[in-house]
A and B are shown apart, each in its own frame.
Chain A
Amino acid sequence: MKFRNMNWAPYLLLLPSFIYLMLFFAWPMVQALQLAFRRDSQILPLRAEPAVEDAAITGELERGTTVELLDVMVVETQRAGGLLSDRVFWLEVAGIDPEGERVSGWALRGDVFVADASRSSRGTVRSGVARLRAGPALDAEVIGELPQDTEVALLEWDRSGQRVAAGGLLQKPLTWLRVSAETEDGEVVEGWLERSSLSIQDTEISSTGRVQSGRGSKEWTLDYVKRMVRDARFDDAVITSILLVVLILPVQFVLAIIMALVLQSQLRFNSLFLYLYAIPLGISDLAAGLVWYTIFTQTGYLNSFLQSLGLIDRPFIFISSAHKEWIIIAIVLAEIWRATSLVMVIVVSGLQAIPRDYLEAGEVFGASLWQRLRHIILPLLKPSLQVALILRTILAFQVFAVVVAISGGDVLTVLANEAYRWYDIGSYNNKNVAAAYSGFIMLLSLGVAVLYLRTIRTQEEKEAAG
């Protein structure tokens, strides 16, 4: 195809979609892999020696781990030809790593939060002018100003103040000190100053701290995957997810075929049935879960119905950890109720593609309804059923809101629910393990899809061989 003569129009039309899909599908996929398999700033590596670039890693601590302070070293470095000097604090800390072992090593002061427990009672104003405020907050009224080198008496420490964003998400606490000082005029003023505006002698660092941030080494690691697998709820999630798929799918397919056949037989009020059968297509899994919750909850419709029939005299608690099987049943019913219409739509279009002649020939040559179904309709529906099967299975591994709506996500859990829990800020707040779960779901889906296609292909080969 000559370059100049090629019609560019289709490629131009496709470009926006292509770009969008690259941005929002391909790129996140890569990101997810990175999150799941690459160590990043959730982990702080501890080094054997302070201030040495490639010192060996003696251990790793997760963000948020409490550590014990063993030693402090201050390293001064000169910059800009001796005009500026940096004082860098290195801390030797010890803590329990994710594997449960005690490790120790050196880390930068900025990565470990340690409380300053100051014994000193005096401080000096550092560079510039320090603003005295009425209270320990940045928006408190300014009641005075102290020039550089003013000496102040430290009266009170307050570390519970505002948090200020400092580069990204990290939020450093502002420490405020209530001080009293003598101004040039000889007055004594009292107020609050930010800690950073003061130089305080003899500051002692407390003996415990917390890992605040990590220095990602960008190495490939299976730690997150291991964490995921080792979690107590992982096995439950996998088993429940697979169980749901195994229970839901066969019923859905049979029901979908029945619904499609009903629509095909063109009863009176066919368009009414069409509308009703299509309604679930627009129902979200959350709404579906809530709908079936009304039925299975303790004061719900199932109990009401059974009670009105006189089969029970007290409500039966379907949704409880003692009756996990009932929760499964409720979820299965909710999913069948909601998602069968999708399969039905695919089956209907497959049915319409079958010429009426074939069915009539079946009738003439003696096939009963069941025989027609088995020998003519189902074989010719196979392509549609295959597509539906793959799609539906992949979607089934992602059930989420239904489970949460019915049982809250604690008694029974599924893979997607676990991914959410690990991601949620209010919960584990660990995006790496969450990404690992996402990857696992996708792997499972892909694996199943490949399995299906393989099975279909070997079946076809068997048929062709006769």
Chain B
Amino acid sequence: MTTTPTTHPAPPITRVRVRDLPIEQQRAIRARRLRRAGTYAVAIAIAVWILLPIWLIGTLAFSTPADVRSYPKQIAPIPFSTDTMEFFLNAQGVLPATRNSIVVALLTLALSTAIAAPAGYAIARYFFRGRDAFRLSILAVRAFPIVILAVPLAETFRRLGMFDEVYSVALMHTALTLPTTILVVSSVFASVPRELEEAAKVFGCSAFQAFLRVALPLALPGVAASAIFTFVMSWNEVFASVVLTLENRTLPALILYNLDKSGDPFKFAGGFFMLVPSLIFIFFVRRYLFNMWGQITK
């Protein structure tokens, strides 16, 4: 037949049994199915690799102290107990340190975002002399070892009487997270089409109003994601915190400092407690994390 009728109700789909196909095709189909199954296997294996340690430490965090010290260790929190966590939270300095960590992280979030947002917008929207140089230096700065900053800053803080203060840790953390935030925010703003702001300007807005009414609302999810990520980074930071604090330690600094003196229950509960924000926040910002590098690899 060279022509077919122009209307068909529904196409006939004939299912074919693999066994009925020539051997060459059977092999190809089986190879393809095997590869698919293999990919699933690898994917699940990696997922287990990531989750299992978290499950294990979580188990210990919610087992009785006796179970925590037992051997061999159990792999599920049975019986479930909040004793270990309570012991950790009530241990000396833990709650104040947690409060310090939260305050530091919030300060860092606010300061870092406030300073980085205009810079990110400038990089995304304007073509100006020194733009590439600035972007390159941000990248370079990102790669700097924190170690070399923490020691001299600690000394400077000492001299200025700012040592061992929550706000000085926040200042340090802001410095650490600023480059990343600038880069993320600039790629977020770059993804907002320029024409939208131009249209706003045509219809009566000043540059600032256009930014406020058009660019910012559209960029807000991305900026919020980077702010949350900044919070997590600050919460996690150990080296600078432990160098910069003595009495007013942040939680990681406190835990690190007490590691050699503390027993297993403290360590396990502390480790798990530090993990929790990550688990929660990463869920919300996971998509944006992959966009972070969009504009950066040249």
Chain A: residues with CB nearer than 8 A to chain B? Answer: 1, 7, 9-11, 13-14, 16-18, 20-21, 23-25, 27-29, 31-32, 34-35, 168-169, 255, 258-259, 262, 265, 267, 273-287, 289-295, 297, 299-301, 303-305, 307-308, 315, 337, 345-346, 348-350, 353, 369, 383-384, 387, 390-391, 394, 397-398, 400-401, 404-405, 408, 415-416, 419-420, 423, 425, 431, 434-435, 437-439, 441-442, 445, 449
Contacts and interface: CB of A to CB of B under 8 A. Distances in A.
Interface string B254-298: 011001100010011011001101110111001101111110111
Contacts of B236: 282-287
Interface of B: 35, 39-40, 42-43, 46-47, 49-51, 53-54, 56-57, 60, 69-73, 75, 114-116, 118-119, 121-123, 125-126, 128-129, 131, 134, 141-156, 158-159, 171-172, 174-175, 178-179, 182, 207, 229, 232, 235-239, 242-243, 246, 252, 255-256, 259-260, 264, 267-268, 270-271, 274-275, 277-279, 281-283, 286-287, 289-294, 296-298
A383 B145 CA distance: 22
A275 B275 contact: no
- What is the predominant secondary structure among interface residues of chain B facing chain A? helix
A28 B153 contact: yes
Contact of B122 (A9, A277, A278, A281): A9
B151 A419 contact: yes
Given A294-B271, A419-B147, A345 B292 contact: yes
A420 B239 contact: yes
A295 B53 contact: yes
A287 B274 contact: yes
A398 B238 contact: no
B290 A345 contact: yes
Contact of A24 (B71, B149, B256, B293): B149
A317 to B, nearest CB: 12
Contacts of A419: 147, 151
B122 A279 contact: no
Given A10-B122, A294-B57, A349 B274 contact: no
A442 to B, nearest CB: 5
Contact of B53 (A267, A277, A337): A337
Contact of B178 (A20, A294, A303): A20
Nearest to A425: B246
Instruction: Output the residue of A13, A255, A337, A400 with the most chain B CB within 10 A.
Output: A13
A275 B282 contact: yes
Nearest to B128: A10
Given A265-B39, A398-B239, A449-B143, 15 more contacts: A20-B174, A28-B149, A31-B152, A259-B46, A274-B286, A282-B236, A286-B271, A291-B275, A294-B271, A416-B239, A435-B151, A438-B151, A441-B147, A442-B147, A442-B148
A284 B182 contact: no
A295 B275 CA distance: 16
A304 B73 contact: yes
A398 B147 contact: yes
Given A7-B126, A299-B70, A25 B46 contact: no
B283 A275 contact: yes
A175 to B, nearest CB: 27
A290 B268 contact: yes
B148 A441 contact: yes
B256 A279 contact: no
